């Protein structure tokens, strides 16, 4: 796992976007695994900027989103599909029929999850998976205790996670208790992984994922097993890393690092 530390959130997003753009430029029909969250806004903004400057083309790209809340329709303002439309898809030339999401309103979740896994395989697998890290060290909705070999399925959301996004819903609106998520095993199948995290609130989770033991209690720690995973952080998110000085030293000595 390679760790890239930047001085600010904006620099971190620019570096991660540059790494993602390299994948797209090398393979115009790349299959992307996408995720959502406040951290991702800056990254997608950078990709949109590159597209508008003529540096990126999404016309042959296929995307699979990491997760979706059960019970939320595609137009719900808190759905991940809505987020992707508002922050990326409506600004670039990706064909709508090439964008796939776990379906939170299906009548047969088990069958749909099997179909989702198969569809990823039929498209050749994910070339680049973009991830964030939850405050408890989770990736996607793979809460603590998730199997390292898990595939796309329904997961019950933790109380802490529900508390984190409760303010995003109307007071009289019922919060979703479940999400369909790619499994840890599904994520690890990606050929390349980019992880982004910023802010002091993520520092403990980042340290556990990057330098802690590999454990199902911190599902992001499974990324230590991946052959090509790069973690982009700002200074605050990197503040609990014991080897932060070493990671910075590597950046200084390696002009070919992923953000160059």
Three-class DSSP labels, the chain: CEEEEECCHHHHHHHHHHHHHHHHHHCCCCEEEECCCCCHHHHHHHHHHHHHCCCCCCCCCEEEECEEECCCCCCCCCCHHHHHHHHCHHHCCCCHHHEECCCCCCCCHHHHHHHHHHHHHHCCCCCEEEEECCCCCCECCECCCCCCCCCCEEEECCHHHHHHHHHHCCCCCCCCCEEEECCHHHHHCCCEEEEEECCHHHHHHHHHHHHCCCECCEHHHHHHHCCCEEEEEECCCCCCCCCHHHHHHHHHHCCCCCCC
Question: Between 167 and 202, where is the model more confident?
Answer: 202
Among 45-59, 95-109, 117-131, 161-175, which is the least confidently predicted range?
161-175
Residue 257 has pLDDT above 70, yes or no: no
Looking at residue 256, what is its pLDDT? 66
Q: Report the pLDDT averaged over residues 66-82.
A: 90
Q: Report the pLDDT averaged over residues 128-143.
A: 96
State the chain's mean pLDDT as an integer.
Answer: 94
Looking at residue 260, what is its pLDDT? 44
With bands split at pLDDT 50, 70 and 90, how would you rate the model's confidence at 255?
low
Looking at residue 168, what is its pLDDT? 76
Q: How far apart are CA 36 and CA 67, in angstroms?
A: 9
Looking at residue 170, what is its pLDDT? 76
Looking at residue 163, what is its pLDDT? 82
Q: Report the pLDDT averaged over residues 236-249.
A: 97
Q: Report the pLDDT averaged over residues 86-91.
A: 98
Among 61-65, 159-163, 217-221, which is the least confidently predicted range?
159-163
Q: Report the pLDDT averaged over residues 216-233.
A: 98
What's the pLDDT tens digit per position in 162-184?
887 777 777 777 888 999 999 99
What are the chain's domains? 2-233 (3.40.50.1360)
Residue 38 has pLDDT above 60, yes or no: yes
State both tokens at 169: 């819903």
Q: Report the pLDDT averaged over residues 199-205.
A: 97
Residue 259 has pLDDT above 60, yes or no: no
State both tokens at 157: 């959301």
Q: Check the CA dihedral 52-94-31-176 and report its sign.
A: positive
Q: Report the pLDDT averaged over residues 144-167.
A: 90
- Of the chain, the percentage scoring pLDDT greater than 70 comes to 98
Looking at residue 41, what is its pLDDT? 97
């Amino acid at each position: 796992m390679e760790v890239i530390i930047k001085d600010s959130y904006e620099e971190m997003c620019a570096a991660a976007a540059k790494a993602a753009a390299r994948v797209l430029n090398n393979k115009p029909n790349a299959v992307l695994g996408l995720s959502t969250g406040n951290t991702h806004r800056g990254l997608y903004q950078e990709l949109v900027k590159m597209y508008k400057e003529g540096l990126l083309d999404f016309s042959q790209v296929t995307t699979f989103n990491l997760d979706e809340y059960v019970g939320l329709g595609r137009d719900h303002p808190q759905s991940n599909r809505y987020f992707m439309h508002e922050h990326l898809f409506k600004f670039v030339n990706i064909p709508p029929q090439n964008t796939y999401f776990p379906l939170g309103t299906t009548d047969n979740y088990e069958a749909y999850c099997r179909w989702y896994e198969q569809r990823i395989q039929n498209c050749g697998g994910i070339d680049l998976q973009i991830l964030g890290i939850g405050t408890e060290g989770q990736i996607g909705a793979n809460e603590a205790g998730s199997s390292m070999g898990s595939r796309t399925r329904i997961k019950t959301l933790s109380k802490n996670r529900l508390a984190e996004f409760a303010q995003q819903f109307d007071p009289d609106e019922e919060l979703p208790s479940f999400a369909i998520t790619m499994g840890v095993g599904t994520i690890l199948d990606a050929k390349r992984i980019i992880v982004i995290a910023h802010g002091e609130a993520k520092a403990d989770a980042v340290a556990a994922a990057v330098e802690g033991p590999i454990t199902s209690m911190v599902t992001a720690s499974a990324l230590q097993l991946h052959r090509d995973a790069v973690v982009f952080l700002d200074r605050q998110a990197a503040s609990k890393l014991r080897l932060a000085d070493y990671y910075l030293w590597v950046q200084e000595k390696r002009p070919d690092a992923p953000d160059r």
